[in-house]
Chain A
């Protein structure tokens, strides 16, 4: 069978998502993704069904008839009507696709479901039956100018309203059947992006380029209220809860809730909640399931996100608060709280909360009764105290719930509670003599029987004291007096085996040996620039005995640090920042705020929590969405986050203005997560597949670089095209130009601001791969617009982690660097030259026989060769396309190109090179902004290059050719272009390109591709643009 291009998966913008009320048991959320419809069971987040609706066009919207039997899909000029039964029966219904001459804005069913009303962008409504027969055409006289938005509201069989949003701020509301204008609502500025009528026909809601939502009285046309809040354009609105609420989605990544508050004299729109639901930009679609209190949104990032609208009201106990002067008690008698008494500390247990006041009163709140009780009073802990605890969530009968109070005079009080919290089962008082003053006390649980208390004095000469306590008896098992490292101020604690890891200010960690208190701790200093470490958590261990710790910094950086515990044990003398003992294998920065720690959610996703301005956030970093947030006044307050006992979620306890708040964040993943995670918020500019199987067959890692400035590391399956996200790296500050793996672990990315980063991928841990910048290329000019457009590398045959790299710049500069892996240095810029004064777009080394050339392609359409052979005489070619380097020199070259040929009329967007086995010829394949692709042959004659274009396909595409790549032993060429067509070309023996296959891709702005061989005669392809698609050939 002849090879065929076949698409396996599509990830990209979703324009419409809806809950389906039909009693269709198979699924209850419909989402339009590209030309496809996805059906999900929203409670389990399972994808139930995927059906292709249109041949090429995107589905922009759909509606289901009231009886739930039929649905209609529209998008661009296309329209398909279909029974729900057929929708589920088939994988592809595009053969039923119909079309009209104008863009379709909305299509919906009549009240009794036997007709369809179709609104076009020229304010025309077609009335059809369910067999696509046009019954009538309706329009509003003299109002046929183009619409930016429009909806049809069916109030009854007899009353249908057309809402048309014009480009000039006016909204035309008209009656479909009598074709009469009801209102021309004016007030908005700019184009109207959405307009809708409420179910009861009382209100009109609209939004426009002016960033406001306006509520209008349907009867009178009066503007009732303006809702301000969104910071960018608003795309969609929906009334719900009997028209008492409105939900809006916007270009500002948020979804907002509004109450329609009605009193005697006025109706007001009041914003009541904001959810940040999508990445980078546009949220397009929204719907609400009123019964369950769940909304669902769809966005440009391809994500389908569920939102719990009852985040703080679903169970009734999500948010509780207590004023210290009015604490409810079991016996109804007030606790003897003084007027100036305040909460000083607290710890949450499965049974409830234990707190201490500024007068040394220990009080507890029982979860079951929500009543407070005095436990004891101890004036040693008046005014200054610290509270720590270890919570026991095990199912065993006896409890290990212990709270530890301490003061600055080195007094410690440990209290142990029964499982129900009702009785005190242990009490231990201690005074630590060996330190002069106590400034920090931290507690960590070890295994079943012990826990550690770490005590720090502000006096640098004092020891760092650690007490090992038996949980059962609260007796000291061992006392460690560690020497305190210099410049060390402890901030967090973790225990692993015989090692105690202590985080400090200045992004520093000390690793103490619990077997030898004399041993000087191993120090990992200055992991990032500056800030305090807020958490250290053991994540996993690799087969070869390395342990991986997640480390968070308050300034927002998080790192994964690999520690070789065995090596550490065998080299007690190695004390500082030794690369063989520890390696930072992942480093990244969260989007915002003060990073306080990480959580495990059971799925393996990396969950962080942080503060930004007045909010506390829990965030899924792996997939990039907010799980929960709480307005609490910000980081500068008493607060503590613990898990809820039964694994149902988290408890955030905080104090705000003398009130103590208990905020339960239920980890009911069904209501918090996504139906589809999505990819980038903007165009993928380049992608690269790591051509090496992961532990699973058919699964490969790949990276994407996007206009949204991030680099993502993902995995995909070549058999079904399913993509899994791992990390989103935010190290670049401008949109990416190129990303490319250069060997099995190193990858390079480049962008504006002279950013070229060398990344290392680590795959030794089973949970997930990790990636970090190994070395940025040194920058020389502080020109914000100076872009590195492309690069190429040649590996050193003596060590393939060493390489030379050529980078081409937007100011016509060309630079070649040598990178040494073991020293982790770009040793010098070994060659520098300048082409003309235009932007260079592509580069490639060409090794032919003993000669080395650099090929560049620029916006002028020329292919240009520089001869590096004599200039870089210390570099020799080896046979495998690698190089041998002797002694490094640095050359500022003024040499002119040795050969130049104009191939394209405009910029050369992409190139690929094939050096032929005959050792005298090489082929260059190019694609240009001029819609052309070309094949050129170059010959080496003695030391000179000559060549010509052998095949120029002028109209290879109808718009810019964006990528080309050789495959199948360089006998075939794959091209992508903005016209959304993927083409496969045969390279004939007489050096011509012959079109073999063309296939439409559903990815708009197709800009990049990569292709790998997965099987003897099978290739796997990823296409990138606005979204991505996996194909096979």
Chain B
């Protein structure tokens, strides 16, 4: 989050700065919770994993909900783990793991930290690099969710909750259908803090309830499709014995229940607010605040520098 003109436009962005969150996405989780209350019962929130956690705003929310605002359960019994491939600056009460969520070692580490207890809640606000090819982007997002889900099935306790970011594109109903095999209830939730113009939404999967005969097992040499292949949720299974590529058929689809989260009193992320608006009077001060977290290092940092120095120009 930089210090920019975005300030004026985006109330959630301003609010995040004021309340010390690293990103405005913190409010998405908070608004989901307003509807589902999955972070409100601390007895069911002892072991939590935040996947694809960087820069860490969801971990901040979880940390406040689990530790700052809840006092009944002894701190020692509570564990909050944030996993990401990228490094993350520390957050109070959060154990950060810089690790690959698809690797069995990561699973082992989490189970170790949890003392072999299972998680109550797993979430992922991760998104892959968007290329602009709608089908590819949607596929990669679904694969990211599936790899989060893969780890989740190995650590989530029965009846536990899984929450992840989705993009509501062409094939989202295929994902809903797959999740239906693992959870009692799957809801597509759109928090008011997520822009209406964006395809972004969240799946809230309640009541983890995998098929009886299925035991998930992470294997570094298996793809996600193979991981789920013995579970009936798999769309199409081509086992090692299959000898022919099957004919194309459309996958199983199922439309999840839709829910809007965050009351109508909350800020509308699509609206334009003016300084004299009443709704803004709650925001403390109207001057620009310094960013909470300095911008990250993008892979194209060097190219940017070269462009700034006039080294990347049209003339050869």
B24 to chain A, nearest CB (A): 15
By beta carbon, the residue of chain A nearest B278 is A837
Q: Which residues of A contact B192 (CB under 8 A)?
A: 859
Find out whether the CB atom of B238 lies under 8 angstroms from the CB atom of A101: yes
Find out whether the CB atom of A955 lies under 8 angstroms from the CB atom of B255: yes
Q: Which residues of A contact B259 (CB under 8 A)?
A: 905
From known contacts A144-B220, A954-B258, infer whether A811 and B134 are also in contact, taking CB-CB under 8 Å: no
From known contacts A959-B169, A978-B199, infer whether A209 and B248 are also in contact, taking CB-CB under 8 Å: no
A300 interfacial contact with B, CB 8 Å: yes
Q: Which residues of A contact B282 (CB under 8 A)?
A: none
Find out whether the CB atom of A251 lies under 8 angstroms from the CB atom of B268: no
A1026 interfacial contact with B, CB 8 Å: yes
> Which one of B135, B246, B277 lies within 8 Å of A57 (CB-CB)?
B135
| Separation of A271 and B306 alpha carbons in the complex (Å) | 15
From known contacts A13-B133, A809-B272, infer whether A55 and B299 are also in contact, taking CB-CB under 8 Å: no
- A153-186 vs B, Cβ < 8 Å mask (1 yes, 0 no): 0000000000000011100000000000000000
| Separation of A58 and B100 alpha carbons in the complex (Å) | 31
**Other contacts beyond A188-B299, A276-B314, A282-B132: 6, CB < 8 A:** A102-B223, A144-B222, A144-B223, A167-B129, A212-B303, A284-B133
Find out whether the CB atom of B272 lies under 8 angstroms from the CB atom of A906: no
Interface centre among B172, B234, B246, B272 (most CB of A within 10 A): B272
Find out whether the CB atom of A98 lies under 8 angstroms from the CB atom of B272: no
Q: Which residues of B contact A907 (CB under 8 A)?
A: 196, 270
Q: Which residues of A contact B314 (CB under 8 A)?
A: 274, 276, 613, 615
Interface of B is mostly: loop
Find out whether the CB atom of B271 lies under 8 angstroms from the CB atom of A838: yes
A56 interfacial contact with B, CB 8 Å: yes
Find out whether the CB atom of A906 lies under 8 angstroms from the CB atom of B312: no
| Separation of A907 and B270 alpha carbons in the complex (Å) | 10
Find out whether the CB atom of A958 lies under 8 angstroms from the CB atom of B253: yes
| Separation of A222 and B128 alpha carbons in the complex (Å) | 29
Find out whether the CB atom of A930 lies under 8 angstroms from the CB atom of B260: yes
By beta carbon, the residue of chain A nearest B176 is A958
Q: Which residues of A contact B102 (CB under 8 A)?
A: 145
A977 to chain B, nearest CB (A): 10
> Which one of A614, A859, A960 lies within 8 Å of B168 (CB-CB)?
A960
Q: Which residues of B contact A55 (CB under 8 A)?
A: 248, 250
B-binding segment of A127-135, A499-507, A512-520, A933-941: A127-135
| Separation of A122 and B225 alpha carbons in the complex (Å) | 9
Q: Which residues of A contact B278 (CB under 8 A)?
A: 837
Q: How many residues of A contact B (CB 8 A)?
A: 108
Find out whether the CB atom of B270 lies under 8 angstroms from the CB atom of A979: no
A956 to chain B, nearest CB (A): 9
By beta carbon, the residue of chain B nearest A789 is B270
From known contacts A860-B264, A954-B258, infer whether A103 and B168 are also in contact, taking CB-CB under 8 Å: no
B274 interfacial contact with A, CB 8 Å: yes
| Separation of A102 and B143 alpha carbons in the complex (Å) | 10
Find out whether the CB atom of A300 lies under 8 angstroms from the CB atom of B132: yes
By beta carbon, the residue of chain B nearest A102 is B225
By beta carbon, the residue of chain A nearest B170 is A980
Give me the 8 closest cross-chain CB pairs, A-B, nearest first: A190-B299, A211-B303, A958-B173, A122-B223, A189-B299, A959-B168, A97-B248, A839-B270
Find out whether the CB atom of A932 lies under 8 angstroms from the CB atom of B129: no
Q: Which residues of A contact B273 (CB under 8 A)?
A: 811, 837
Q: Which residues of B contact A1004 (CB under 8 A)?
A: 134-135, 169-170
Interface centre among A56, A137, A139, A859 (most CB of B within 10 A): A859
Find out whether the CB atom of B258 lies under 8 angstroms from the CB atom of A839: no
> Which one of B133, B136, B246 lies within 8 Å of A99 (CB-CB)?
B246
Find out whether the CB atom of A231 lies under 8 angstroms from the CB atom of B303: yes
A783 interfacial contact with B, CB 8 Å: yes
A787 interfacial contact with B, CB 8 Å: yes
Find out whether the CB atom of A101 lies under 8 angstroms from the CB atom of B225: yes
Q: Which residues of A contact B85 (CB under 8 A)?
A: 168
B311 interfacial contact with A, CB 8 Å: yes
Q: Which residues of A contact B242 (CB under 8 A)?
A: 134
Find out whether the CB atom of A785 lies under 8 angstroms from the CB atom of B303: no
A994 interfacial contact with B, CB 8 Å: no
From known contacts A99-B247, A145-B102, A930-B258, infer whether A211 and B300 are also in contact, taking CB-CB under 8 Å: yes
From known contacts A76-B139, A839-B271, infer whether A785 and B172 are also in contact, taking CB-CB under 8 Å: no
Q: Which residues of B contact A861 (CB under 8 A)?
A: 260
Interface of A is mostly: loop
From known contacts A99-B247, A905-B260, A958-B173, infer whether A839 and B272 are also in contact, taking CB-CB under 8 Å: yes
| Separation of A1010 and B307 alpha carbons in the complex (Å) | 43
Find out whether the CB atom of A101 lies under 8 angstroms from the CB atom of B245: no
By beta carbon, the residue of chain A nearest B219 is A144
B302 interfacial contact with A, CB 8 Å: yes
B106 interfacial contact with A, CB 8 Å: no
| Separation of A212 and B299 alpha carbons in the complex (Å) | 10
From known contacts A144-B221, A144-B223, A958-B255, infer whether A98 and B279 are also in contact, taking CB-CB under 8 Å: no
- A275-288 vs B, Cβ < 8 Å mask (1 yes, 0 no): 01000011010000
B226 to chain A, nearest CB (A): 8
B287 interfacial contact with A, CB 8 Å: no
| Separation of A137 and B245 alpha carbons in the complex (Å) | 12
By beta carbon, the residue of chain A nearest B241 is A134
From known contacts A76-B135, A102-B225, A141-B221, infer whether A905 and B258 are also in contact, taking CB-CB under 8 Å: yes
From known contacts A55-B248, A98-B248, A932-B258, infer whether A838 and B268 are also in contact, taking CB-CB under 8 Å: yes
A728 interfacial contact with B, CB 8 Å: no
Find out whether the CB atom of B140 lies under 8 angstroms from the CB atom of A811: no
Q: Which residues of A contact B268 (CB under 8 A)?
A: 837-839, 859-860
Q: Which residues of B contact A132 (CB under 8 A)?
A: 244-245
> Which one of B5, B196, B279, B312 lies within 8 Å of A859 (CB-CB)?
B196
B89 to chain A, nearest CB (A): 20
Interface centre among A75, A122, A271 (most CB of B within 10 A): A122
A456 to chain B, nearest CB (A): 36
Find out whether the CB atom of A101 lies under 8 angstroms from the CB atom of B196: no
Q: Which residues of B contact A137 (CB under 8 A)?
A: 240
Interface centre among B132, B220, B250 (most CB of A within 10 A): B132
| Separation of A507 and B305 alpha carbons in the complex (Å) | 40
| Separation of A98 and B244 alpha carbons in the complex (Å) | 9
B73 interfacial contact with A, CB 8 Å: no
| Separation of A148 and B247 alpha carbons in the complex (Å) | 26
- A210-222 vs B, Cβ < 8 Å mask (1 yes, 0 no): 1110000000000
> Which one of B132, B173, B243, B306 lies within 8 Å of A133 (CB-CB)?
B243
Find out whether the CB atom of A56 lies under 8 angstroms from the CB atom of B258: no
Find out whether the CB atom of B173 lies under 8 angstroms from the CB atom of A839: no
By beta carbon, the residue of chain A nearest B175 is A958
Q: Which residues of A contact B118 (CB under 8 A)?
A: none
- B287-316 vs A, Cβ < 8 Å mask (1 yes, 0 no): 000000000001111110011000111111
Find out whether the CB atom of B135 lies under 8 angstroms from the CB atom of A58: yes
Q: Which residues of B contact A211 (CB under 8 A)?
A: 300, 302-303
Find out whether the CB atom of B221 lies under 8 angstroms from the CB atom of A142: yes
Q: Which residues of B contact A755 (CB under 8 A)?
A: none
Q: Which residues of A contact B246 (CB under 8 A)?
A: 98-99
- A425-451 vs B, Cβ < 8 Å mask (1 yes, 0 no): 000000000000000000000000000
| Separation of A55 and B250 alpha carbons in the complex (Å) | 9
From known contacts A906-B196, A959-B199, infer whether A783 and B271 are also in contact, taking CB-CB under 8 Å: no
Q: Which residues of B contact A784 (CB under 8 A)?
A: 5, 9
Find out whether the CB atom of A613 lies under 8 angstroms from the CB atom of B315: yes
| Separation of A1004 and B311 alpha carbons in the complex (Å) | 37
B235 interfacial contact with A, CB 8 Å: yes
B237 interfacial contact with A, CB 8 Å: yes
Find out whether the CB atom of B196 lies under 8 angstroms from the CB atom of A54: no
B8 to chain A, nearest CB (A): 8
